[in-house]
Structures are given as structure tokens and as C-alpha cells.
Amino acid sequence: MTVLPFISLGAGTVLGLLIKYPQFQKLADIISTTALVLLMLCIGIGIGIDESVVREFPKIGANCIVIALSAIFFSVLLTFICEKTVLSLENYSSSSDHMDTSDVDSNHPASHLVWLMPACLIAGLITGIIMRSTISSSFTNAAFTIALIILYVCVGISQGSNKEVFHNLRTLGFRILWLPFAILVGSITGGFFSSLFLDIPMEIPVVSACGMSFYSITGAYMTQTYGLAPGAYGFIVNLLREFITVLIMPLLIRISPGSPIAGGAAGDMDTMLAPVTKFVGINLSIVTLLTGTVLTFIVPILLPIMSNFIITL
């Protein structure tokens, strides 16, 4: 599993760099969504056919809320400190006026994934419970692996197609990287903090918090690495991070302009871009997008690094 993300993401990134047709990117997005649906169904079915995991599911949900809240809290805290010390977002908002903000759309097609993913998880869970005696775990594992490879390749294609992000980063100034760095450190801190209060292995809250709203890759990685129940944490924690961020957005914007961006984290690249921009303003839309893009690039690399790091503790 340690090699699979890098091979698949690398192959996808090369394809994204070489194939410049917009239709190709749209096709990759459609395939990626289909793979996500299959992944969530497989996760749900896998949980449903395992009686011991089903019994623990209410506890899993409560733990996920604690982890998500901790990750949001520390991300917002460190972002606030960052804004007051090394990076004032008010200074960058005016420099973003000339940037293209056409990516911001309140009907962004990725937004439906926030609702589709938990719906597929629940549908798979019910299917697994009902058909426990007829569905084999080997079948769901094979389907999961195929969908996983497809998903990684499609994510790589999406990243390879975003070549303009490097130009935008130079235009804004590389000091803007303090923002994703603060969110990253805050998320990791939140994972470690929540592990102090939860009766689960440390790697589960820490690695799931490192997903920073990138629920697809995080859930897939944790399922493949740790098993079905930890995989559920990877998905649910990062879905909850987006749900909770949307709910408390009016509070976050009162703290600082960067706080809603910190809550959205990697989701600022797509799912959270529209709701965050509605609060931080169109002038900070490019900062939101760039922050989400940087974190989206980092997450697939960060997950195995943190997983291996925790083993050494």
C-alpha cells in the first residue's frame, strides 16, 4: 500500500501533464466520482458483513466527531496565529482582484459529493447487513482495490492538469504557503490531541485528521492499511470536517479571514471552495483555491509518512 499511491498518482499526474484536452479532465472527474461511489459502497458492505464492526459503529461516529472538531480547532488556532504574525490575508486580498475567479461557483459539481458519499456508505452498510450470508469479503476487497487504483490515477490527472497553480503561487508570493502549513500542523496536532481522550489506537485519530477533508484518499488509505473500521474513520472524520465547517462558518469568519479557509483545508480546492468564498469574499477566492490545492497535493504523501512515524513512537 505504501507504493501503490505513489505509482498510481504519478501515472495520473503524467497523464494530466501530457493530455491537455478539457474533455479528458471532465472524463477523469466522472470516473473519479464513480470510483468514489464504488469505494464507499465497498466500505459500507464490508462494515455490514462484519458483525463486530457494526456493533461498534455508534462509538465510531462519536469518536469521529471528536477528531474532526479537534482538527478544525487547532487548524483555526494556528491559522489565526499565522495571520497575526507572518501573513496578513488582508494584504493579499487586494492583490487577488485581477486573478481569474471563474472557478468559484455556488453550484460546483463537487459539492454533491458531500451528500453522496455518506449516502453510499449507509446504502452499502444496509446492503452488507441484509446480504451478510451471500456477499464474500474477497469480492468486496477485489472491487475496492480496483476502485482504489482508478481513484488514485484520477486524482493524479486532476493534479497534473493544475499547472497554472505554480504560476499563481509565484504571483501571490510564496509567503502564502504559511497558510497551508499552519492548517497541516494544526490538523496533525488535533489528531494527537484527540487521541489523548479516545480509547482507540493513536494512528487512527492522527492519520484520519491528516486527511484534512480529503476523505476519499484518506478513507481508502486507512482501509487498505488498517482495516475496515479504521477506514470508516478516514472517510467519516473528513466528511464531518466539511459538514461542521459549513455549519460554523459564520463563527469562523468572525475570528479571522483565514479561519473558514482553515476549516475547509484540502476541500478548499473543490467541495468547500464555493461556501468558503461566500464568507471570505471573492478577493480571497484564489488564496482559498491555492491553499486547498497545496494541501490536496500533500495529503497522499503525508498519510504514509505519518503512519510510519507513529509506528516508531
Predicted confidence (pLDDT) per residue in 244-270, tens digit: 888 888 899 899 999 999 999 998 887
Residue 198 pLDDT: 93
Q: Percent of the chain, pLDDT > 70? A: 84
Is residue 137 predicted with pLDDT exceeding 90?
no
Close Cβ partners of 30 (under 8 Å, ≥ 6 residues apart):
none
Is residue 111 predicted with pLDDT exceeding 70?
no
Distance CA 189, CA 71 (A): 7
Confidence at 38, pLDDT banded by 50, 70, 90: confident
Q: Helices 285-312 and 164-172 meet at what angle, rounded to 10?
A: 100
b/e map 213-233, b = 16+ CB within 10 Å: bbbbbbbbbbbbbbebbbbbb
Query: How far is the first Cα of the chain from the last one, in angstroms, to the nearest whole number?
Result: 21
Predicted confidence (pLDDT) per residue in 174-190, tens digit: 788 899 999 999 999 99
63 with 233: CB under 8 angstroms? yes
In the numeric block, which cell numbers belong to residue 295?
494541501
Cα–Cα separations (whole angstroms), residue 257 to 67, 190, 285: 23, 21, 11
Q: What is the pTM of this model?
A: 0.72
| Full domain range(s) for residue 115 | 4-312
How many structural domains are present in the chain? 1
Residue 201 pLDDT: 94
Confidence at 196, pLDDT banded by 50, 70, 90: very high
Confidence at 172, pLDDT banded by 50, 70, 90: low
Phi, psi of 49 (to 5 degrees): -85, -5
Where is average pLDDT lowest: 40-44, 130-134, 215-219?
Answer: 40-44
Greatest mean pLDDT among 93-107, 133-147, 275-289, 295-309 lies in 295-309
Mean pLDDT of the chain: 82
Which residue's entry shows cell 497534473? 160
Residue 252 pLDDT: 92
